[in-house]
Structure 1
Amino acid sequence: MKALKYLNKFFYKYRSRLILGIFITVIAKVFALQIPQLIKESLNIVEDYKYDRITDLEIVKSQLIVNIFYIIGAALLSGFFTFMMRQTLIVMSRLIEFDLKNEIFQQYEHLSLNFYKRNRTGDLMNRISEDVGKVRMYFGPAIMYTMNMLVLFIIAITKMWNIDTKLTLYTLLPLPVLSLSIYLLSRVINKRSNIVQQYLSKLTTYVQETFSGINVVKAYSIESFTSKSFEELANTNKDKNISLFKAQALFFPLMLLLIGISNILVIYIGGMQYINGEIANIGIIAEFIIYVNMLTWPVAVVGWVTSIVQQAEVSQRRINQFLMEKPNIINHETAKSQILGDIEFKNVSFTYEDTGITALKNVSFKIKQGETLAILGRTGSGKSTIAALIARLYDVSSGIIFIDNKPIKEVNLDSLRESIGFVPQDAFLFSDTIKDNIKIGNELASDEQIEQAAKSAYIHHNIEGFNQKFETLVGERGVTLSGGQKQRISIARALISNPEILIFDDCLSAVDTETEEIILQNLNEATKGKTTIIISHRASSVKNADHIIILEDGEIIEAGTHDELVEKTGYYQDIYNQQLEEKLTNS
């Protein structure tokens, strides 16, 4: 139960609902427990009439009719307050479920990129859905039925004890067996619940990855292989669930057996007491039988509640693993920072924790506000790492980055990222309209601003050709668009935010050189006065930059302007001449 201690804050937050729910539960059971006493009195009236203790039949009928109305009234009131009990406690559990899901989602958003490299999406989804659902059962049904059981036990057993102590003791005789059974079975359920949740995460992850990569599955015609793998995983998951339910299934038969034994004991012991004159009226036996049967469901539900609590404990333990995770990137500055756009790298080195690859080695450069820096290099040279470090998606291993002559760690993280318009090479679009994807950069943008951003990114004419124009749904991850169209929508999204810093990470790789030239001309106009970083493989993309650096194996091997580098023997001159020849050949 240690993992569930984390949830105590929710009990405190919704304490008024919890207390009210307990109070209503007591009232509901008080009315319900009037019924056995009324039935006992009714049977006693009939017995008194049979043995000529009451001679007037009309009096008997009148008393029975009054008792019937009392029984109906008690049942209706008990039903009403039981309904109110559910409205109080179950609604409380839904509110807590809402709070917990939001807390987990916000934690996911705050965690660093390294966390997402270590964990699979399917597992993250399972913990915020299935695991939270298990925890909700602990707050709702488990608490409700536990309160119901405790109140019923306390009131019913107190009444039974006051009526006949000996008969009550015999009736409660099976309870120690019940306690031992719960203890043994709960340990088994806890272990098997943990295994079930682990395999459910594996199944969710496999399905999510398969559907995300459905293009690859179809292109390589591996549907039968993926189906077979899914079937094997699903069968293992099924076997683990069956193993869990086998343990859970032992509860109810055992509970019913123990209640049956209690009924037999009431009838036999109570009957012998009645014969021996120890019990004055037969109604007492009937009252005891009703009490025992009223306790049947609460006793039977002990097993179910125990199972719910065990599963909730396992699920909350899994949730706590992520809730207790500390993000690597900490916002040290709470006050908002004004970002102008000066950037300086001073002896910066960086090594990725997950792979151990050193992406940057002692890199130094400086860009003033409004200038353009171009970064070229082969794949894996560290170009994208520089972009990630400027946005502080990672912290440097050594060296220091300055933003406006201030160490980047002393700059408010939200202000920094809000001031950056980032266009990655692998453009990500949400399953929404083109308009809404562009508006991510500025939620308050007008239709005119959206159209202007689309024109600057040279995607407006394509959008106008779609049937729904800007209201066109792009599908999951932009599946309905080409790679070049997705990149240009991403550029429009960055431009519409009007940031102080623009980072284009090889975002024109999927367009032809003709389109690239048009976009670059538009960007020259759109990026005036903004600090701009262009990462590319093409020399044509960077020739107008104020500064150009060439990376190789994480080190700067060349630096200068286009005119300077094109005259110097080296990587830039080679790639420029090669691409110039290709252009002449194609033309």
Structure 2
Amino acid sequence: MSSTRKFPGWQLLWQLICYDPKLYLIDTCFWIFIMGLPALPGLIIREFFNSLTDKAQLGLSPWIFIAFLLALNLGHIAVIFAGRITKTQHRFTMRSLLRRNLLERLLNNPHAQIMIANGDTDKTVSQGEVMSFFRDDTEHIEDNVAWVSEILGEGIFAIFSLMILLSVNVPMTLFVFLPLVGMVVIIQKAEIRIKQYRKSSRQATQQVTGILGEIFSSVQAIKVAGAEQDVLNYFRALNDNRRQMMVKDSLLNAILNSLFQNMVSFGTGLILVMASFLMQSSVNQLTVGDFALFVYNLSFVTGFFSSVGGFIALYKQTEVAFERMTALIGGASAETLVTPNQLYLQDLGKSKNTLPRLEQPLENNIHNLQSLKLSNLTYIYPGTNQGIADINLQIQRGNLTVITGRIGSGKTTLLRVLLGLLPKQAGEIYWNEHTVANPANFFVPPRSAYTPQIPQLFSYSLRENILLGLSKDDSDIETALKMAVFEQDLAVMHEKLETLVGTKGVRLSGGQMQRVAAARMFVRQPELLVFDDLSSALDVETELTLWARIFANTTEQGENSWTPTCLIVSHRHSVLRRADQIIVMKAGRVAAQGNFEEILADEQADWIF
């Protein structure tokens, strides 16, 4: 975030407020009532004391004033209870909107790794670290938005109380503003340190959540390496650093709050000293009731000034939260985080706003894959000379194209750049001679489906892992599983499609995981199938059967005919012999290209055989 440009924090908070203005208005009204009802006891207290000194104007019994006080307090409790319900709903809505927009932005930029701007370079962020953004930063912004309504309510009532103070005594009232001036000066002087400490504490928390995620996802690797103690020592070091940063942040907040409260108390003391002289003076003499009314309302005005000081400090910390989240979503503007979007918060059985169905769009033959062309496609990993450069490739409908090459030659990188999982730095991608402007959003079902080297499964049933929200019946799922050569595995599972696969598919073998991921692709019948080294966990016979079943679909006729086009990474000779086109990668470039016989005669590809 540039230091020369003022971060639009107020605009972002205002957009959050405008997302649901009705709910915000109700919340603010409740807060005004919560703050306003205690104003009436001040007037009652004045009449109560005046009645004790025989200076009351209403001539009512003191017991009547006590009854009024009890009734007002009971009403105050009822308003607080109702207002808290609204406040909770308002807070939940704001937090949900922030998290929804942040998640959407991350999913719309599905790079191989989540990156965050860190000065002139980008820093990789783990999944555990991302959790701190969704938890801590969104809740901090939520607190600031909620406090806006509270400050507004306090401010309206503070003006009302200030008018009462002015009606009692003007010189005494002017002293009330002295603490406010001091608070503004302190906040201006401490702004840099406030934001610095908050940023450090958030980054330290981010590191702790990050290492926790890494530990839980790598338990087996840690045990095999015998690195338990070293990992624990590193975890303790990160926690010690977090503790130090959090203590500094909390201590600064405590010092500021103490200063604000003491300044208010000091100003109140001066006012009370002045009041004692006025009560003894024959000029502008204060009655006991006036003094009680002044002191009672004085607490609301000075309390508002104290809240203003805390709110300004909180706003500076909220800027840090917005800046961190903006850095996480890369080139997107901060306004993306507060863009109004539909939140499906109500009970779906009672709400008209049902969730959108995850169905395939209607087929259009014009958009069916006829040819896929890559022209000078380039991506170099930042800070290295590794990647791909000037890749030219053309794939025809129904063909099997195999990418092969030594380890580190750029095979997986090529697939990821093509699919938009890594941002291309140069070159163009053409689908049926039309430029693909946004590969990440374009290469999705039913146009394309992708299975990486290590497929991702969820700790749900086999059915849910295959469908992922898609509406298909059991016959479609079984057809996809048969194409993936999984029918025998399914036959021995007692719960069939309801079988739970465990966390990350831990109850399945490596080959079963890859075939389930393949079935997930087949059930969507995409135009382009992209496999990254499907052979790594399959035996030769199973893989040959899988390819035979895939291309058997090209001969089917009728409404449900499907002609898949395959782009795969493989080293197996049996697959290479079957391929219509072989791409040999070397040092990030295409070293050889052609069919099996042509590659066999090419000296650049002799290492394959």
Give the aligned partner of residue 472 of structure 2. Answer: 445
Give the aligned partner of residue 98 of structure 1. Answer: 96
Q: CA deviation at 1:237?
A: 0.7
Give the aligned partner of residue 339 of structure 2. Answer: none
Give the aligned partner of residue 110 of structure 1. Answer: 108
Give the aligned partner of residue 384 of structure 1. Answer: 412
* Cα pair 1:348 1:360 within 8 Å, conserved: no
**Structure 2: gaps (5+ residues):** 1-5, 116-122, 334-362, 556-562
Q: 2:579 aligns with which of 518, 528, 545?
A: 545
Residue 368 of structure 2 corresponds to residue 368 of structure 1: no
Give the aligned partner of residue 197 of structure 1. Answer: 202
Amino acid in structure 2 at the alignment position of 1:2: F
* Structure 1 residue ranges (4+ consecutive) displaced by more than 6 angstroms after TM superposition: 571-574
Give the aligned partner of residue 462 of structure 1. Answer: 489
Residue 564 of structure 2 corresponds to residue 530 of structure 1: yes
Residue 152 of structure 2 corresponds to residue 147 of structure 1: yes
CA–CA separation in structure 2 for the residues paired with 1:8 and 1:254: 29
Alignment of 1:97-496 (within 5 A): 97-111=95-109, 113=111, 116=114, 118-121=123-126, 122-140=128-146, 142-170=147-175, 173-277=178-282, 278-279=284-285, 281-295=287-301, 297-323=303-329, 325-326=331-332, 338-345=366-373, 348-354=376-382, 356-357=384-385, 359-360=387-388, 362-394=390-422, 400-409=428-437, 413-414=441-442, 418-440=446-468, 443-496=470-523
Larger C-alpha radius of gyration, 1 or 2?
1
CA–CA separation in structure 2 for the residues paired with 1:337 and 1:202: 49
* Cα pair 2:483 2:546 within 8 Å, conserved: yes
Residue 6 of structure 2 corresponds to residue 6 of structure 1: no
Q: Deviation string for 1:391-421 (max 9, x for gaps)?
A: 3445655554432233334999436653112
CA separation of 1:169/1:544 partners in 2, compared to 1, >3 Å: closer, same or farther? closer
Q: Deviation string for 1:476-495 (max 9, x for gaps)?
A: 33233222121111111111
Q: CA deviation at 1:105?
A: 1.1
CA–CA separation in structure 1 for the residues paired with 2:275 and 2:435: 85
Give the aligned partner of residue 46 of structure 1. Answer: 52
SS at match of 2:537: coil
Q: Deviation string for 1:543-562 (max 9, x for gaps)?
A: 22333343333444444444
Question: Which moves more between the two structures, 259-268 or 96-105?
Answer: 259-268
SS at match of 2:535: coil
Amino acid in structure 1 at the alignment position of 2:131: M
CA–CA separation in structure 1 for the residues paired with 2:100 and 2:365: 27
Give the aligned partner of residue 582 of structure 1. Answer: none
Q: 1:16 aligns with which of 10, 22, 36?
A: 22
CA–CA separation in structure 1 for the residues paired with 2:243 and 2:231: 18
CA–CA separation in structure 2 for the residues paired with 1:290 and 1:426: 68
CA–CA separation in structure 1 for the residues paired with 2:568 and 2:535: 10
Q: CA deviation at 1:289?
A: 2.4
CA–CA separation in structure 1 for the residues paired with 2:222 and 2:491: 33
* Cα pair 1:352 1:358 within 8 Å, conserved: yes
**Structure 1: gaps (5+ residues):** 328-334, 577-587
Question: Which moves more between the two structures, 556-565 or 515-524?
Answer: 556-565
Question: Which moves more between the two structures, 227-236 or 77-86?
Answer: 77-86
CA separation of 1:410/1:519 partners in 2, compared to 1, >3 Å: closer, same or farther? closer
Tell me the percent identity.
20
With the length of structure 1 as denominator, give the TM-score of the two structures: 0.84
* Cα pair 1:375 1:551 within 8 Å, conserved: yes
Q: Deviation string for 1:401-449 (max 9, x for gaps)?
A: 4322333349994366531122222222233222211113x71121222
Q: CA deviation at 1:204?
A: 1.8
SS at match of 1:445: coil
Question: Which moves more between the two structures, 281-290 or 95-104?
Answer: 281-290
CA separation of 1:65/1:388 partners in 2, compared to 1, >3 Å: closer, same or farther? same
* Cα pair 2:114 2:125 within 8 Å, conserved: yes
Amino acid in structure 2 at the alignment position of 1:387: L
* Cα pair 1:371 1:531 within 8 Å, conserved: yes
CA–CA separation in structure 2 for the residues paired with 1:27 and 1:575: 79
Residue 539 of structure 2 corresponds to residue 512 of structure 1: yes
CA separation of 1:178/1:344 partners in 2, compared to 1, >3 Å: closer, same or farther? closer
Question: Which moves more between the two structures, 212-221 or 266-275?
Answer: 266-275
Amino acid in structure 1 at the alignment position of 2:135: S
SS at match of 1:119: strand
Amino acid in structure 2 at the alignment position of 1:532: C
CA separation of 1:342/1:412 partners in 2, compared to 1, >3 Å: closer, same or farther? farther
Q: CA deviation at 1:22?
A: 3.8
SS at match of 2:368: coil
SS at match of 1:474: coil
CA separation of 1:286/1:508 partners in 2, compared to 1, >3 Å: closer, same or farther? same
Amino acid in structure 2 at the alignment position of 1:228: N
CA–CA separation in structure 2 for the residues paired with 1:274 and 1:77: 34
Question: Which moves more between the two structures, 11-20 or 100-109?
Answer: 11-20
* Cα pair 2:377 2:390 within 8 Å, conserved: yes
Question: Which moves more between the two structures, 256-265 or 279-288?
Answer: 256-265
Q: 1:33 aligns with which of 22, 39, 60?
A: 39
CA separation of 1:48/1:89 partners in 2, compared to 1, >3 Å: closer, same or farther? same
What is the root-mean-square deviation of aligned Cα atoms in Å?
3.3
Amino acid in structure 2 at the alignment position of 1:97: R
Amino acid in structure 2 at the alignment position of 1:113: H
CA–CA separation in structure 2 for the residues paired with 1:107 and 1:28: 39
Q: Deviation string for 1:307-353 (max 9, x for gaps)?
A: 322221111121222446159xxxxxxx9994322335465342324
CA–CA separation in structure 2 for the residues paired with 1:104 and 1:557: 41
Amino acid in structure 2 at the alignment position of 1:550: V
Q: CA deviation at 1:519?
A: 2.8
CA–CA separation in structure 1 for the residues paired with 2:598 and 2:182: 89
Q: CA deviation at 1:106?
A: 1.1
Amino acid in structure 2 at the alignment position of 1:536: S
Bigger fraction of residues in helix: 1
